[in-house]
Amino acid sequence: MIKRQTTINRVFKLSGIGLHSGHPVNLEFLPRREQGIVFVMQGVHIPARYDHVSDTRLSTLITEGGISISTIEHLMAAFYYAGITNCLVYIDGPEVPILDGSAWEFYQGMWKAGVYEFTEEQVYLKVMQPVEVRQGDAWIRIRPLNTLDITMTIEFRQPVGMQRRRVTDVENTFSILNSRTFTMQEEIEAIKKMGLAKGGSLDNAVVIGEDDVLNPQGLRYRKELVNHKILDLIGDLYTSGYRILGKVEAHKSGHQLNNQLLRKLFSDPASYQIY
């Protein structure tokens, strides 16, 4: 477990295309003394925080001063795994690149850049009382625990069906980092009619066909799909600004419920403790 605030040790860059926009985008990562992950676009600083999340359809989008950045969740999960608490991310487009559909390439860039540790603490948020949000048959809750423990259940049509995974050593479960985003084949047309997924391909997403996975190389892990939902959740939880300690149980949860959980958690100061 990290003990103090950290940042990257040197500047590094990454480039790719946006999953939904299809446009090329460049990222430049700079060390930051002040606490938090902050995106910078057109001179506007946009904190990667739950209270700046303005849209959760198909991704997590943050807004400040009329400027928005979408699909931040995989990058936020990479920051969590790399142990980075403070960083400036300069971006020249409205969407974080999808890269291979997981958080692995982001994490590799951070690992190569190295980590610089400050003396400041206040890194962890410990949940002090249960918090739960629901929408239909989907729900997510968090209860007090001294570590981060996540159980995720997803349910889709066959051949996926119901998948469940519990991760008790989140910080060291790197199969989560390398699991890709996914979609059902029949959903692609509807998503494209919304003007989204213009950059999607079998190179950056798992596509579930009628009987099997359409990607020629198949799945990276037997539970890659539920792994990726856990990855999304970790990225969304990190928009709290802290490394959360608590027992999380989620059923069919997505970006919207993940954000609602944080908003409800922060609405009552008795629900958490920062240290």
Q: Is residue 23 annotated as a catalytic residue, yes or no? A: no
- DSSP assignment of 113-177 equals H-EEE-S----EEEE-S-EEEEETTEEEEEE--SSEEEEEEEE-STTT-EEEEEES-GGG-TTTT
Question: Of 52, 228, 251, 255, which residue is the catalytic one?
Answer: 255
* CB of 140 closer than 8 Å to CB of 154: no
At residue 257, the 3 state secondary structure works out as helix
d(CA 261, CA 258): 5
- The Cβ of residue 204 has, within 10 Å, a number of other Cβ atoms equal to 18
Closest of 113, 117, 88 to residue 9, by C-alpha:
113
* Conformation bin of residue 92: beta by default, left when phi > 0, alpha when psi is -120 to 50: alpha
Q: Give the catalytic positions in this structure.
A: 255
